[in-house]
Amino acid sequence: MTLLPQEIIRRKRDGGALDPEHIHAFVEGLTTGSVSEGQAASFAMAIFFRGLSVKERVALTQAMTRSGEVLKWDLPGPVLDKHSTGGVGDTVSLALAPAVAACGGYVPMISGRGLGHTGGTLDKFDSIPGYVTQPDIETFRRVTREVGCAVIGQTADLAPADKRLYAIRDVTATVESIDLITASILSKKLAAGLQGLVMDVKFGSGAFMDNPADARALAESLVLVANGAGLPTSALLTDMNEPLASAAGNAVEVNYIVDYLTGRRREPRFHAVTVALCAEMLVLGKLAANLDEARARIEAAISSGRAAEIFQRMVAALGGPADFLDKPGRHLAAAPVIRPVHAEREGIVQRIATRDVGVAVVALGGGRTRPQDPIDHAVGLTELAEVGAAVGSSRPLAIVHARSEAAAEAAERAVRAAYTVGDAPARPGPLVLERIGAKA
């Protein structure tokens, strides 16, 4: 029996189970437009409160995967990818894709825009003039084949149902649903025709999953559903109790990655997470026999400059400047108001309300409160102090990049409120809490 969209919503709202054909029918409506915005939002909210069984979760993932084209590849190396659940200063994808490509992998990365307080990989690449984040499928295939990696957004051909639902989740407070996150992430990855996937599942004050137990549940869901769908997948639980990089924004994070890849600046926390995720990918793709060998290969790819070279080739192949890596300042937008934020007292950073740091970037214009909102790529925060750092008159909490004096002042207040400064020594917790692999 075919159910109307509102009846499917009602069934889930009341705690009932949805048959695969009901889920496929609703997802088809998302794709064709026969399901309204209000119905899509209600569907997401019903799932948020009532949840999905594993069977329903698999059905939703498969339906969204099949809502568009599913790519098939014929390449001389493994097709691999990584996905992060999002955080503040998490710009790993920009370095990871060319680093893995430098080791013989192929990385056709389909990324998203910012969700809530977290930055979006596509918004970062949009700050590069000329870079086409939504090319046609043939361009995506060609760049992946010729360069080794291509970081793009969902086109109309790939998981279009997820693209629509993704935007609605951002503005209806349903981002944190494990069921919806699982289906959203994996539908894009399955549509990309991957042979291996590594998940970076964040926990802490700047993650969607604050509690490590919740993050573990999400990681287990992703690994279970992905491997069940035939995609070899592992996950790392990584710390987001402070920004991963010292930059948060769009152009400022791209500039950070240029410094990282060219060796001008490599912060230990960011580097450690990047290498750990890359190493997982190389092992999944059988490009390294074990994690120690994989880490050594990635370290060599980054330190030798091979990853930087591939990053530049990818930028140029997707329409960006041919001299971008050499002259990022010529091409990246800069905010007109740049000034430091000092703590109200001398001391040591004890804790950071990292989510509030991300919200401050959104308030500056570096994120969205509605899907249609424009992004100001120039604004953000740099030189974010880490937990354990001594701050005061000579070391600011951060540097604000703002469009106006009023916006800068509001960001200053938000940053000060997000930082707890005291006298005791402070040390962050473990950066990688746990690895979750497929169960035999």
Query: Looking at the annotation, which residues are catalytic?
Result: 81-84, 121, 169, 184, 188-189
Token reading at 290: 């074990």
Token reading at 170: 């951002």
Residue 96 · residue 278 · CB < 8 Å: yes
Task: Say how far apart CA 81 and CA 310 lie, in whole Å.
Answer: 16
Beta bridge partners of 422: 348
**179: enclosing H helix or E strand:** helix 178-191
- How many CB atoms are located within 10 Å of the residue 400 CB? 28
- Contacting residues for 138 by C-beta, under 8 A, at least 6 apart: none
**248: enclosing H helix or E strand:** strand 248-249
E strand segments, 308-429: 337-341, 347-352, 380-382, 390-391, 398-402, 419-422
- Contacting residues for 4 by C-beta, under 8 A, at least 6 apart: none
What are the start-end ranges of the H helices in 33-136?
A: 37-50, 54-65, 92-101, 121-126
Token reading at 158: 């790939």
Q: What is the layout of strands, in order, in the sheet containing 80-84? A: 80-84, 196-203, 233-239, 432-436
Q: Taking the CA atoms of 270, 273, 276 and 279 in sequence, report the sign of the dihedral they define.
A: negative
Task: Say how far apart CA 404 and CA 336 lie, in whole Å.
Answer: 7
**354: enclosing H helix or E strand:** helix 354-361
Burial (CB count <10 Å: 0-12, 13-18, 19+), residue 233:
buried
The pair phi, psi for residue 374, each rounded to 5°, is -75, 160
**Closest-CA residue to 145 (of 71, 69, 74):** 74
**Closest-CA residue to 353 (of 425, 428, 430, 415):** 415
Residue 211 · residue 96 · CB < 8 Å: no
The string of DSSP letters for 102-115 reads: TTT-BEEEEE----
